[in-house]
Amino acid sequence: MNRLLSRKAFKAFFKLHEACCLTSTQYFLKPPRVLVNKAQYISEDRPEFPGSKSEFVHKLKFLWPEKMEGIPVYRVMNRKGEIVDPSEDPGLSKETVIKMYKDMTMLNTMDRILYESQRQGRISFYMTNFGEEGTHIGSAAALNPKDLIFGQYREAGVLMWRGFTLDQFMNQCYGSSEDLGKGRQMPVHYGSKDLHFVTISSPLATQMPQASGAAYGFKRAQNGLCVVCYFGEGAASEGDAHAALNFAATLECPVIFFCRNNGYAISTPTRDQYRGDGIASRGFGYGMVTARVDGNDIFAVYKVTKAAREICIQENRPVLIEAMTYRIGHHSTSDDSSAYRSVDEVSHWNKEDTPIARLRLYMINKGWWNDDAEKEWKRDSKKKVMEAFANAEGRKKPNPEMMFTDVYKEIPKHIQKQMDQMKQHVHAYKDHYPLDSYQKMG
Amino acid sequence: MAALKGLITKGSLQKLVFSNVRKEFKTRIFARCSHFTYVPDTPKANHGETTRMNLFQSINSAMDNALEQDPTAVLFGEDVAFGGVFRCSIGLKDKYGKDRVFNTPLSEQGIVAFGIGLAVVGATAIAEIQFADYIFPAYDQIVNEAAKFRYRTGNLFDCGKLTIRAPCGAVGHGAMYHSQSVEAQFAHTAGLKVVIPRGPIQAKGLLLSCIWDENPCIFLEPKILYRSAIEEVPIHKYTIPLSQAEVILEGKDVTLVGYGTQVHVLREVANMAQERLNVSCEVIDLRTILPYDFETIANSVVKTGRLVISHEAPVTMGFATEIATAVQEECFLNLEAPIQRVCGYDIPFPHVFEPFCLPDKYRVFEAVKKVINF
Ligand SMILES: Cc1ncc(C[n+]2csc(CCOP(=O)(O)OP(=O)(O)O)c2C)c(N)n1
Ligand SMILES: [Mg+2]
């Protein structure tokens, strides 16, 4: 009896381990749902503690994480742009694939130009998305355009897919009078109510438990939509990340937590960030359906997100996706990554494995794309970006009075008084304030 | 680096891109000009040999001294191992080893609590929070734990060896999450010491005092000064006492009180007042916000009869409010004019509007005129 039990228990311990070794088609890891039939457990031989339902063992056995195999990475397309298992081909139309490619490369072009413009002192700050375009476009394409997005900051491609215009990007970065955020936040803090994208906030991971709450609201509203929350593997260390995942699981919220694991949080490599098997391994701990995907494979990202969305909506439960990728650019314009990683490492990824090159190969293999098309698109996209850039640079900044609005729904008396004092003061000292660059005060 | 540069700054693209724009538009180059003129301090002769340092270098030098003298001392936080995003810890991991100078996972509550634990067992803990704006996940650990450890345990345990460093203040383009001045948020908590230096010499002496002080300290570093403030700083260790303000400019007509970057704004205002109004201002750097040196302020106000207090943080419940209240309680009959607060507005710190929302020299100058003409 004893031996039997412990063998059984041993097996139970390694269920997770086995679950990790599923074939690529079964890319979700579903934690076993706890049995609710209490009668089953009224027995000496089975644990009845309210906090856990499993089996007793009579030999001490620690679980050693390093003895478990890593969670596999789901992939559809290899680095040569070939579909590995034809049954996994998402079968997207030529039109969709070309839009995916164009959005990824447009994002890339915009990044180069805005990065450069920061270097020249034309905008105050910028963050590029180099190397991670596949995670943005692949996931965005799989969602309902009305699913609500809570982003971190390096997800500009999601907005681009949804139709945020180059003008809108540029106006935000310049803080121009046309910026939807009214010039209040640093560059790349985009947001769009029309595109169901909640405005970015700098403090990390704060959006994560908010996403759980929003998803709970969606569930109660029965609107058939889910919430998608993007976050970095660094941000996943914040306390808010724990709250987010645990709330989502226990309150059964239809939310996809999409982790971009790009290897770094500024200079901090994943080795200093966590010692588990990435972020995906945490999903099981929270009782969440989980998958890990090759983030540089846009089709795999697309498929996993689409399937995750189904689970969210059908089962009203959260799904955790960990997309493995690499941050090819510096963290931001304030960072020089050569101080903490080798040029060789970066150029290896840039040469060997970018989502853009992979999709281009796929398109060429299909006969959908060639050098001429590439050249023409490069020229066109640059031109479009430059036009939007020039327009934004030519625009004035918003009326300085706008810094006092939206603090509250209404302007309280004391803030109104401060606004009046500001106007009076600036009027009296107008030579000392850069009024020419701003729209006129009332 | 070549590959990365190639990727990002493709020369041809750049030319194509910007030649057109330049022609068509009068460029509004984003200005990194600061709103004050930095006046360097001079080192004390008895502090020995000096070398040119900016603010991040003097902080580095203080931590170097602290790590060298005390083998229990450790330094940690986000991105600290490679030198920190502001370069304050550069070279220290190589010098003292990765068990003493290390990266933590990305969690401010974790960083502070980890530091409390270290301090409880007698180690000197220097915790870096990457930006003061991001100290709030650690608010509970700081306010409910660090500040009350000694008190709630009847002095059985304490975390006095903890020092939390964080960059603060306006920097020209930081917007609401890279500009905040959070001192008042912590000045409301008994048990903490809160310190803000005005430059490299002050920073080193005050930081070493914080590190060696037997109470948990929050050391807020005005980030705009990291590179722009340069002084001859003593290379050996020295301390500057906490809870002592400094009269950095003597005067007889108006007392100007500030701390951190704002001290430099006040110094400029004092010059403007002298030149344009023939008014003599006394400038006081508070240096320690909590527990603060009331006597130095009161003595000055007794002499001048007029007080202007200025800080970047929002005016409502800002530290100026505390000073103004205490001064009117103690020095009411000495006052010739109502005390003026020239502070940030009661709004989140906005990106493109920074030139309009700072308590700059013109706003402070107006306040000086007001107290003189009252
Ligand atoms: C609460 C908080 N702490 C620190 C920071 C500073 N910070 C900005 S980005 C970043 C690294 C984030 O890394 P990760 O989540 O992996 O995202 P990635 O930049 O790699 O996309 C840090 C530490 C912040 N914005 N918010
Ligand atoms: Mg990362």
Residues of chain A short of pLDDT 50, as ranges, are: 1-25, 41
Can you tell me which residue has the tokens 């060997």? A352
Question: Given this model, what pLDDT does residue B27 score?
Answer: 35
The reply to whether A393 touches chain B by the CB within 8 Å rule is: yes
In a domain, A296, yes or no: yes
State whether the beta carbon of B106 lies less than 6 angstroms from ligand 1: yes
| Bridge pairing between strands B246-249 and B281-285 | antiparallel
State whether the beta carbon of B183 lies less than 6 angstroms from ligand 1: no
Q: What is the mean pLDDT of chain B?
A: 93
Question: Given this model, what pLDDT does residue A385 score?
Answer: 98
Residues of A in contact with B17 (CB under 8 A): 113, 116, 382, 386, 389
Question: With contact defined as beta carbons under 8 Å apart, do A198 and A191 qualify?
Answer: yes
In a domain, A201, yes or no: yes
What size, in residues, is chain A? 442
Same domain, yes or no, for B183 and B103?
yes
State how far the Cα of B282 lies from the Cα of B286, in Å rounded to an integer. Answer: 13
Position B25 confidence tier, pLDDT thresholds 50, 70, 90: very low
State how far the Cα of A200 lies from the Cα of A67, in Å rounded to an integer. Answer: 39
In a domain, B359, yes or no: yes
Same domain, yes or no, for A39 and A96?
no
| Integer angstrom CA distances of residue A259 from A75, A139, A151, A321, A322 | 16, 11, 10, 6, 5
The share of chain B scoring above pLDDT 70, in percent, equals: 91
Question: Given this model, what pLDDT does residue A323 score?
Answer: 98
**Looking at B234, B260, B280, which one is the last position of a domain?**
B234
Question: Which of B13, B136, B362 lies at the smallest CB-CB distance from A112?
Answer: B13
Surface-to-core class of residue A413, CB atoms within 10 Å of its CB (0-12 exposed, 13-18 middle, 19+ buried):
exposed
The reply to whether A394 touches chain B by the CB within 8 Å rule is: yes
In a domain, B36, yes or no: no
Same domain, yes or no, for B88 and B13?
no
Same domain, yes or no, for B287 and B330?
yes
Question: With contact defined as beta carbons under 8 Å apart, do B115 and B64 qualify?
Answer: no
| Nearest residue of B to residue A384, measured between CA atoms | B17
| Integer angstrom CA distances of residue A310 from A32, A301, A306, A315 | 19, 14, 6, 8
State whether the beta carbon of A162 lies less than 6 angstroms from ligand 1: no
Same domain, yes or no, for A44 and A111?
no
The H or E element containing residue A304 is helix A298-315
Question: How far away is chain B from the Cα of A407, in angstroms, using its nearest Cα?
Answer: 6
How far is ligand 2, taken at its centre, from the CA of residue A260, in Å? Answer: 7
Contacts of A297 (CB under 8 A, 6+ apart): A75, A76, A77, A134, A138, A355, A358
Same domain, yes or no, for B80 and B137?
yes
Return the active site residues of B: 108, 178
Beta bridge partners of B54: B230
| Nearest residue of B to residue A129, measured between CA atoms | B8
Cβ of A398 within 8 Å of Cβ of B9? The answer is no
| Integer angstrom CA distances of residue A371 from A78, A375, B148 | 21, 6, 68
**Single-letter amino acid code for the residue at A151:** G
In a domain, A128, yes or no: yes
Cβ of A175 within 8 Å of Cβ of B7? The answer is no
How far is ligand 2, taken at its centre, from the CA of residue B85, in Å? Answer: 15
* Token pair listed for A292: 């890990």
Question: Given this model, what pLDDT does residue A84 score?
Answer: 98
Same domain, yes or no, for B206 and B274?
no
Question: Given this model, what pLDDT does residue A27 score?
Answer: 67
How far is ligand 2, taken at its centre, from the CA of residue A263, in Å? Answer: 5
| Integer angstrom CA distances of residue B42 from A336, A420, B229, B249 | 33, 41, 12, 14
pTM, whole model, 2 decimals? 0.92
Atom of ligand 1 nearest to the CA of A273: 16
State whether the beta carbon of A234 lies less than 6 angstroms from ligand 1: yes
Query: Is 0.90 exceeded by the ipTM?
Result: yes
Mutation for A interface: B10, B15, B106, most A CBs within 10 A:
B106
Domain that holds residue B204: 45-234
Question: Which of A115, A240, A432 lies at the smallest CB-CB distance from B8?
Answer: A115
State how far the Cα of B221 lies from the Cα of B226, in Å rounded to an integer. Answer: 8
Question: Given this model, what pLDDT does residue A333 score?
Answer: 97
In a domain, B38, yes or no: no
| Nearest residue of B to residue A239, measured between CA atoms | B107
CA-closest candidate to residue A160, choices A118, A186, A132 = A132
In a domain, A13, yes or no: yes
In a domain, A337, yes or no: yes
In a domain, A68, yes or no: no
Window A:101-120, CB contacts with B under 8 Å:
112-113, 115-116, 119-120
* Token pair listed for A305: 């997100």
Same domain, yes or no, for B210 and B330?
no
State how far the Cα of A167 lies from the Cα of A393, in Å rounded to an integer. Answer: 10
Question: With contact defined as beta carbons under 8 Å apart, do A236 and A208 qualify?
Answer: no
B57, pLDDT greater than 50: yes
A311 φ, ψ to 5°? Answer: -60, -45
In a domain, A163, yes or no: yes
As a dihedral over the C-alpha atoms of residue B115, residue B116, residue B117, residue B120, rounded to 10 degrees, the angle is 120
Same domain, yes or no, for A357 and A423?
no
The reply to whether A391 touches chain B by the CB within 8 Å rule is: no
State whether the beta carbon of B130 lies less than 6 angstroms from ligand 1: yes
State how far the Cα of A9 lies from the Cα of B71, in Å rounded to an integer. Answer: 47
Residues of A in contact with B21 (CB under 8 A): 386, 389-390, 393
State how far the Cα of A216 lies from the Cα of A365, in Å rounded to an integer. Answer: 44
The share of chain B scoring above pLDDT 90, in percent, equals: 91
Question: Given this model, what pLDDT does residue A43 score?
Answer: 63
How far is ligand 1, taken at its centre, from the CA of residue A231, in Å? Answer: 9
State how far the Cα of A422 lies from the Cα of B203, in Å rounded to an integer. Answer: 33
State how far the Cα of B132 lies from the Cα of B180, in Å rounded to an integer. Answer: 7
Catalytic annotation, pick one of A116, A315, A376, A387: A116
Strand-by-strand arrangement of the B246-249 sheet: B246-249, B281-285, B254-258, B307-314, B340-344
Strand ranges (E), A376-439: none
In a domain, B205, yes or no: yes
| Integer angstrom CA distances of residue B201 from A275, B61, B71, B207, B285 | 41, 10, 24, 10, 14
Same domain, yes or no, for A222 and A143?
yes
Same domain, yes or no, for A412 and A313?
no
The H or E element containing residue A382 is helix A371-394
Same domain, yes or no, for B314 and B230?
no
Alpha carbon nearest to ligand 1 atom 13, residue: A265
* Token pair listed for B29: 């180059």
Question: Given this model, what pLDDT does residue A314 score?
Answer: 97
Question: Given this model, what pLDDT does residue A33 score?
Answer: 59
Cβ of A340 within 8 Å of Cβ of B30? The answer is no
> Which of A127, A204, A267, A272 best tests ligand 1's pocket when mutated (most atoms within 8 Å of CB)?
A204
Same domain, yes or no, for B304 and B257?
yes
Question: Which of B27, B104, B178 lies at the smallest CB-CB distance from A122?
Answer: B27
Same domain, yes or no, for B184 and B96?
yes
Domain that holds residue A22: 7-57
Helix, strand, coil % in chain B, rounded to nearest 5? 45, 20, 40
State how far the Cα of B130 lies from the Cα of B180, in Å rounded to an integer. Answer: 13
Same domain, yes or no, for A320 and A243?
yes
CATH code, domain with B332: 3.40.50.920
Question: Given this model, what pLDDT does residue A52 score?
Answer: 80
For B213-243, the pLDDT digits (tens) are 999 999 999 999 999 999 999 999 999 999 9
For B176-219, the pLDDT digits (tens) are 999 999 999 999 999 999 999 999 999 999 999 999 999 999 99
Radius of gyration (C-alpha) of chain B in whole angstroms: 22
Same domain, yes or no, for A372 and A412?
no
Atom of ligand 1 nearest to the CA of A327: 20
In a domain, B103, yes or no: yes
Measure the CA angle with vertex A12, ends A10 and A13; round to 5°: 65
Same domain, yes or no, for A387 and A407?
no
* Token pair listed for A382: 């640059």
Centroid of chain to Cα A339: 26
Same domain, yes or no, for A97 and A195?
yes
Question: Given this model, what pLDDT does residue A29 score?
Answer: 79
* Token pair listed for B200: 């490299």
Same domain, yes or no, for B143 and B24?
no
Same domain, yes or no, for B56 and B201?
yes
State whether the beta carbon of A331 lies less than 6 angstroms from ligand 1: yes
Centroid of chain to Cα B173: 17
Q: Collapse the DSSP code of A325 into the 3-class scheme (helix H, G, I; strand E, B; otherwise coil) and give the result.
A: coil
B5, pLDDT greater than 50: no
Question: How far away is chain B from the Cα of A285, in angstroms, using its nearest Cα?
Answer: 19
State how far the Cα of A337 lies from the Cα of B275, in Å rounded to an integer. Answer: 48
| Nearest residue of B to residue A342, measured between CA atoms | B1
State whether the beta carbon of A132 lies less than 6 angstroms from ligand 1: no
Provide the residues around ligand 2 (an ion) whose CB is within 5 A: A 232-234, 262, 265
In a domain, B37, yes or no: no
Domain count across chain A: 3
CA-closest candidate to residue A131, choices A262, A303, A294, A232 = A262
Alpha-helical runs (H) found in A14-132: 15-19, 94-119
Position B29 confidence tier, pLDDT thresholds 50, 70, 90: very low
How far is ligand 2, taken at its centre, from the CA of residue B95, in Å? Answer: 28
Got the DSSP string for B116-136?
HHHHHTT--EEEE-S-GGG-G
Can you tell me which residue has the tokens 């191992």? B81
In a domain, B160, yes or no: yes
Q: How many CB pairs under 8 A join A and B?
A: 196
Domain count across chain B: 3
Same domain, yes or no, for B126 and B207?
yes
State whether the beta carbon of A189 lies less than 6 angstroms from ligand 1: no
For B328-339, the pLDDT digits (tens) are 999 999 999 999
For B72-113, the pLDDT digits (tens) are 999 999 999 999 999 999 999 999 999 999 999 999 999 999
Question: With contact defined as beta carbons under 8 Å apart, do B125 and B104 qualify?
Answer: no
How far is ligand 1, taken at its centre, from the CA of residue B105, in Å? Answer: 11
In a domain, B239, yes or no: no
Same domain, yes or no, for A179 and A232?
yes
Question: Given this model, what pLDDT does residue B33 score?
Answer: 54
In a domain, A64, yes or no: no
Radius of gyration (C-alpha) of chain A in whole angstroms: 25
Contacts of A380 (CB under 8 A, 6+ apart): none
CA-closest candidate to residue A309, choices A76, A148, A90, A99 = A148
Q: B211: how many CB neighbours lie within 10 A of its CB?
A: 26
Same domain, yes or no, for A243 and A369?
yes
Same domain, yes or no, for A182 and A132?
yes
State whether the beta carbon of B189 lies less than 6 angstroms from ligand 1: no
B216 φ, ψ to 5°? Answer: -65, 130
Q: B370: how many CB neighbours lie within 10 A of its CB?
A: 15
Question: With contact defined as beta carbons under 8 Å apart, do B281 and B269 qualify?
Answer: yes
B23, pLDDT greater than 90: no
